[in-house]
Amino acid sequence: MAQVLKEELRNRILTSAKKELLEKGVRDASMRSIAFHSGMTVGNLYRYFKSKDELIMFIVSPALERLNDMIQNKTHDRLSLFHQASSLGLSKQEMTLILDSLADDLSLLYQDFKDEMRILFMDSEVQTQISAWFTQLVGTMISEIFNDFKDQVYEIQLFSRMLAVSIFSGLQECLLRLEELNFDEKKAGFMIRLYLRLYLSMLDFDMNRYLQEVQA
């Protein structure tokens, strides 16, 4: 019986936390307010979650785990959301096929975890971790595609960050506006595929020739 009550209390915490975060954002969301609307003291809330960041991570974990399963499945375990990849071993054609397939699943993921994804996109520690993973992934892609450019460490880091931030922002904008634009999952998947292919096309040029031109 005690375990049932504990589970019910945890569910009340999550319901209150989602409402608080979605209405006020990460910065202004209050653990005290979450505790009040959960029918408990703030001290008792901290017995369940040590910090707001830990609570946010718990909320978005189901969406992250589903996303990780999608990534691992489509890359045959070459990539994982929870580990940095030192190499990909994927051609641009293979990457295009993976991203095309992933685009459709991303729109479905958002439909299944709307609140969790909206919270994930907020300015939180979780978003910082995802952005860092994505930046490193883009950097690995650039190093492998432009082999002669791989020794330009700082340039790759900056270029990777620029691409990762813009790609992440575009995906966020597309997913958050699904209802507003009256997009169904199929149309959303098409828009995401188009967007990702655009960025892949940016990597399809003669880097060596360009470097020679700008350094001449």
Residues 62 and 23 in one domain: no
Cα separation of the two ends of the chain: 76
Residues 99 and 174 in one domain: yes
pLDDT of 2 reads: 39
Number of domains in the chain: 2
Residues 40 and 109 in one domain: no
pLDDT of 113 reads: 92
Residues 44 and 61 in one domain: no
10-residue mean pLDDT profile of the chain (216 residues): values are 63 94 93 94 91 92 92 85 76 81 87 90 80 80 67 73 83 81 80 84 64 60
Residues 43 and 65 in one domain: no
Residues 127 and 28 in one domain: no
pLDDT of 1 reads: 34
pLDDT of 4 reads: 41
pLDDT of 5 reads: 47
Residues 31 and 64 in one domain: no
Say if residues 45 and 13 touch (Cβ distance below 8 Å): yes
pLDDT of 66 reads: 94
CATH of residue 77's domain is: 1.10.357
Residues 35 and 62 in one domain: no
pTM of the model: 0.79
Residues 61 and 38 in one domain: no
Using CA atoms, how far apart are residues 26 and 3, in angstroms rounded to an integer?
30
Residues 29 and 59 in one domain: no
Residues 42 and 135 in one domain: no
Structural domain harbouring 141: 54-215
pLDDT of 142 reads: 72
pLDDT of 30 reads: 94
Residues 91 and 187 in one domain: yes
CATH of residue 18's domain is: 1.10.10.60
